[in-house]
Amino acid sequence: MNVRAVVRAASILQSFTDKPLQSLAEIAAATGLDKGTTRRILVTLIGCGFVVQDPVTQRYGLGRVIRVLASNVIDHFDLRSVAVPVLTELAHELHMTMFLSVFHDRSALCLDRIHDMTGMEVRWWAVGGTLPFNSGGAPKLLLAYQTPETIDAILAEQPLPPVNDSVIVEKAGFRARLAEIRKRGWEFAVDDVAEGLAALAVPVLAEDGSIICALSMAGLTPQMVIGDRPAHLDMMLDAAKRVRAALGVRERPASE
């Protein structure tokens, strides 16, 4: 059950995304609230230190309390608490091994692995472990959503190891694969971790289009393919949407 005043206050705070200073009219327009309601909530937020007002321009901005709170955000804890139940539900329904991973310290880091004990468990990515970026679905996906500068730096300093005969080790071809992944919004990797295994990975994206984490599943290749399409792509994309919503990430307008 939502408390309307809290929801309205949150929408006002969220309206400052990419807008350091706003007028009363701009905030009201961004939130859909009338000016009177917006002004009353702003006065309360100012009193709590969440918002400040420039006495000269009369425009509003976020207060220092926001910075103090932001410094104590535990990203991975929140991510696990939100994503693991979604992945657990899929693991039980599909009898697949599910993975939650992030781009951390210039590596593809596995935060969690979920299996329901009825199907074959895929163990090639341990919790807390990393994989080469050219091996598996999630590592390539995580790198594909980094900035061009980050991709350049990683490819300059890290080799693309020949894990097996199916992996891409030539950097130009790997760059092309990363561009393809980002364009379509998911990755389906076959045989590039181990022969006979496939992995499907989808991103959970922030409002600015950057990647928060990857959700992925792995199993025997015949279980993972229907025709020329990954078997469970729609379910994975829906799972990513559910995690986004639970994290409080707003959907970007279609025009953006």
Residue-by-residue DSSP string for 22-50: B-HHHHHHHHT--HHHHHHHHHHHHHTTS
- Contact between 100 and 215 under an 8 Å Cβ cutoff? The reply is yes
**One digit per residue, pLDDT tens: the chain, 256 residues?**
568 889 999 999 999 988 889 999 999 999 999 999 999 999 999 999 999 999 889 999 999 898 888 766 655 557 888 999 999 999 999 999 999 999 998 999 999 999 887 777 887 888 999 999 999 999 999 999 999 999 999 999 988 988 888 889 999 999 999 999 999 999 999 988 788 889 999 999 998 899 999 999 998 888 888 887 899 999 999 999 999 998 888 775 544 4
What pLDDT is recorded for position 252? 59
pTM comes to 0.70
Region of residue 231 (phi > 0: left; psi between -120 and 50: alpha; otherwise: beta): alpha
What pLDDT is recorded for position 256? 44
Two tokens at 161? Answer: 């190891």
Cα distance from N-terminal residue to C-terminal residue, the chain: 31
What pLDDT is recorded for position 17? 84
Of the candidates 106, 89, 80, the one whose C-alpha atom is nearest the C-alpha of residue 217 is 89
